[in-house]
Amino acid sequence: MVWFSTIFHRNRRLLNFGCVIIIFLLITIFQGSVRPFLGNMALSIFHYPFSELKNGIESLKSVAENNRNLKNTLTEASLQLSFLVEARRENQRLREFLGFEPPENFRVVPVKIVSLGHNQYPIAAVINKGTKDSIRINQPVINRFGLVGKIKEVMPEFSTVQLITDPANAVSARIAESRQFGIVRYNPEEGMIFDNLPADASINKGDLIISSGLGGIYPSGLSIGVVDSVLTVKGEIKKSIWLKSNVDFLEIEELYVLESVPQ
Amino acid sequence: MKVIPYLLYLFLITFHSIILSDIISILGVRLNLLILIIVIIGLFKSETEAIWFGLSAGIIVGAAGPALMPWEVLVITIIAVAVKQVSSRINLESLASKVVVLASSVFLYDVIKSLIISTEEFLFVLVRYILPGTAYTVLIGLIFFLIKDGRISRQKIKALF
């Protein structure tokens, strides 16, 4: 063995070169066996783990990209859905209004609210039609639930509606059943009140209050509200009635201006 | 001869060629880490280590395209042996000589490889990829040599600021 070790150490350089040349020749000559064997071994040991890692990273990137795209699509879809839900609500409201009959000699002009003027409670609304659309001062404004107010100011493309919740806007009204007259006004502290009613007037909770037609602004028969509670003070000749308005002034959207039709 | 460090070098070369080279490339110009490591081993290790590492690296790099495996093995092994031969005849203390060896090795490898596999016009490849790639590799090699020689150290960098 000593002679072998001596030969090995003396000719190490030669052996190295010899082995490398033999391997090179094997790789070159045996294309179908040695090359695939070495290639597969090198690929599975050295390339495969990093290729998997790279694929994983790229897959994560692609997942992140997809996630971003899906989020964008979801946002757009949610937006469209909210528009559709809103359109469905509007459609429903308009369908309900189709059954509404305007007072005789009046036609309805649909308008939309641009802004609401608040003072604890809405007292005025700006609508999207004005003199260009034949809107005039003092025209009554309603929605599908009843009387809302009257036109107070008119501009070419906009108008201001004075709501019946404005304390300065009193409406001549009557009890639908007993036909007795009174005045409906709104007090920010007490709410909607129907007063100036004789103390002996017959009235019950739930009675409907409608516009009387007196005063020349509001046509008769427009629903205003229902009786919520009655206050009779002994010795007083008038009684006050608290009303529950038919219209929810915090949620008004589509309004209709009543335009008189010349006979 | 310790095998594990060389296995780690081979893993580093594959990691670089598969994942890192795209990330650290500058305008498509890639660092030639394979030749950088071959040159470093050729300069600082024995001939046996250089020749066997060159052969192994050639097989592993060539595994990606088996048709070119003999070329890769031949070129890389010859460069490893050549660097070892040159390193025994130059002054290894000189930074310039090491840089010249590195630059000529990278340039030679890239030129041979582009002549064998590139389908684009050689001059374009030379100007667009080979020369900038050589410069990039030499820059990284230069930093390595400076650190190895102790000309760049943490203390010196701290002293600068």
Distance of alpha carbon A168 from alpha carbon B157, whole angstroms:
82
CB atoms within 10 A of CB A223: 17
Q: Which residues in chain A touch residue B19, judged by CB atoms under 8 angstroms apart?
A: 50, 53-54, 57
Task: List CB contacts (< 8 A) between B42 and chain A.
Answer: none
**pTM of this prediction?**
0.57
| A39/B69 touch (CB, cutoff 8 Å), yes or no | yes
Q: How far is A54 from chain B (nearest CA, A)?
A: 6
Look at B64 and A27 and tell me if their CB atoms are within 8 Å. Answer: no
B15 vs A57: CA distance, rounded Å: 14
B59 contacts A38? CB cut-off 8 A: yes
b/e map A170-203, b = 16+ CB within 10 Å: bbbbbbeeeebbbbbbbeeeebbbbbbbeeebeb
Pick from A46, A38, A50: which is nearest to B10 by CA? A46
Range A190-200 average pLDDT: 83
Q: Do A35 and B69 touch (CB under 8 A)?
A: yes
pLDDT interval class at A33 (50, 70, 90): confident
Q: What is chain B's mean pLDDT, rounded?
A: 88
* pLDDT band with cut points at 50, 70 and 90 for residue A107: confident
Give me A10's structure tokens.
């003396």
Q: Which of A12, A23, A42 sits opposite B63 (nearest CB)?
A: A42
Nearest C-alpha of chain A: how many angstroms from B66? 6
The yes-or-no verdict on residue B118 having pLDDT over 90 is no
Helix axes B69-87, B95-117, angle to 10 degrees: 160
ipTM of the predicted assembly exceeds 0.90: no
- Compute the Cα dihedral for B43, B47, B50, B51 and give only its sign: positive
More confident residue, A109 or A6: A109
Which among B60, B70, B51, B65 is positioned nearest to B14, based on CA atoms? Answer: B60
